Amino acid sequence: MDKHFFKDLKIVELASILAAPAASSFFSELGANVTKIENIKTGGDPIRQWKNSVEDKNKAYSSYYCSVNYNKNVLFLDIQSDEAQRKIYELVAEADVFITNLHEQKLKKLSFDFDTLSEINHGLIYAQLHAYSRNDDRLGYDMVMQAECGYLSMTGQENQLAKIPVPIADLSASHQLKEGILLALLERIKTGKGYRVEVSLYDSAISSLSYQASNYLNDGLIAKPLGTAHPNIAPYGDLYQTKDDKMIMLAIGSDAQFGKLKKIINFDDVNDFAINQSRLTDRGKLNTHLSASIKKFYLKELELMFNENGIPYAKVNDIGECLTHDDSKSMILNGIVDGEDVLQLSNIAFNIT
């Protein structure tokens, strides 16, 4: 696939934090010319200061900032000034896409709203990210969405809820935003017209509830925190310790796979666990017996047997083990932020041949 597929695409980004900048970084990685506007009066994008505990305090950007802002042309402007307005209008006049997550009222006050910019460029794709909706000015961060949309209530343990450690609502919204932009670009080829694309963090978080929402909508089942376990399948996500004290996770997706697992590890089936629902009903007993059986084997033994017999499993890796694994190397890129070399993950997890 051509890594410069969007080399003729020009994007103006007036956005901060993660979701909207992540959408434009997808296009940047595929060759688009992305100009990011940062407000010099507020020190630029707030995530420049979201530094982890070991980062250089004097650096002008954080590793968090790098994750969605590499290979962009950054302009620091006082966005309330006449000079900034002229500059942004010049950029918009030549742009294909304008991406923003500013509130609607602020955009109107600055004269960067859809109606104004569409008059400057009739073919402009105006992509706007909201927390909730166009005329709702409530602030919305990823963690707010995790709490409001049910994620927090079903993650971790019953006595210790946990957040998903990556910004699931932001990432979902970013995917929705770039998908909307892509569809609008396709429509523009046919009509020559510009379009308005609107995405909300809230709706994106709702759309990602997947089978948990279906369980409630169809059966009235309210998801409870199960740690790593799955509400519909067992053992799926359950963790077990090996003879050499390594942690392994099983992801058994069918009764046939469980039947093979029993034979491989000499599982003492004292209960009738042949059917998935029986395994869910007696999950505690199931895990007690599985733990005893798996504890008899070294990790390497289990890996060999599971690979040979098609058993879905994983050794539990930390992020360092993951990113230094041979399978991960192709996803790590060299990028540029503020003229400096940085390492970053690719936005592109597909290949077209």
Give the CATH number, domain containing residue 244.
3.30.1540.10
Model pLDDT, residue 11: 99
How many domains would you assign to the chain? 2
Question: Cα 320 vs. chain centroid, distance in angstroms?
Answer: 19
Model pLDDT, residue 68: 98
Model pLDDT, residue 268: 74
Region for 231 from its dihedrals, namely left if φ exceeds 0, alpha if ψ lies in -120 to 50, beta otherwise: alpha
**Cα Rg for the chain, rounded, in angstroms?**
24
Which residues contact residue 332 at a Cβ distance below 8 angstroms, ignoring those fewer than 6 apart? 323, 343, 344, 345, 346
Q: What are phi and psi of 203, to 5 degrees?
A: -60, -35
Asked if residue 251 and residue 179 are part of one domain, the reply reads no
Domain membership of residue 225 (yes or no) is no
DSSP class of 268: -
Domain membership of residue 136 (yes or no) is yes
pLDDT tens sequence across 168-198: 999 999 999 999 999 999 999 999 999 999 9
What is the rounded distance in angstroms from the CA atom of residue 214 to the CA atom of residue 149?
14
Q: Is 213 exposed, middle or buried (0-12, 13-18, 19+ CB in 10 A)?
A: middle
Asked if residue 156 and residue 32 are part of one domain, the reply reads yes
Model pLDDT, residue 270: 61
Q: Is 36 exposed, middle or buried (0-12, 13-18, 19+ CB in 10 A)?
A: buried
Asked if residue 163 and residue 69 are part of one domain, the reply reads yes
Q: Which residues of the chain have pLDDT under 70?
A: 1, 269-271
Asked if residue 273 and residue 333 are part of one domain, the reply reads no
Domain membership of residue 139 (yes or no) is yes
The residue range of the domain holding 255 is 236-316
pLDDT tens sequence across 299-324: 999 999 999 999 999 999 999 999 99
Which residues contact residue 261 at a Cβ distance below 8 angstroms, ignoring those fewer than 6 apart? 250, 252, 267, 311
Domain membership of residue 226 (yes or no) is no
Model pLDDT, residue 1: 66
Asked if residue 311 and residue 336 are part of one domain, the reply reads no
Domain membership of residue 289 (yes or no) is yes
